[in-house]
Amino acid sequence: MILQPISNIKPLAELTQKNMTIGVNSGSQIPFKSLFEDAMNSVKESDANLSTEIQKVATGQTDDLHSVNIASTKASLALEMFVQLRNKALESYNSIMQMGV
């Protein structure tokens, strides 16, 4: 059995640092929007990887159940991170809307 190394999920700090800098050529790109797009792409990618691993085990192409467990955990964490980002954005929006002008 060949063990494959665990690939990293992009940490939130890395996504934030990359997207908070607005260059002169970026035009109308909104860094906050880009942060959410990257998080959503991470969720989609990890879910696709999980589906592939499950299909491999179900069809008998591999007997490595560890890869399914790892892919499942990655997909769960990516989704959890995205939900927390959404919750914090909604909390911030509600706080701003409650401010008196």
Task: Determine the 3-state secondary structure of 10 from DSSP.
Answer: coil
**Domains in the chain: boundaries:** 31-97
Taking CA atoms, 32 is separated from 12, 60, 84, 87, in Å, by 12, 43, 14, 14
> Over the stretch 70-90, which tens digit does the pLDDT of each residue have?
999 999 999 999 999 999 999
**DSSP line for 14-60:** HHHHHHS---GGGTT--HHHHHHHHHHHHHHHHHHHHHHHHHHHHHT
**What residue ranges of the chain have pLDDT lower than 70?**
1, 3-29
Sign of the torsion formed by the C-alpha atoms of 33, 38, 44 and 47: negative
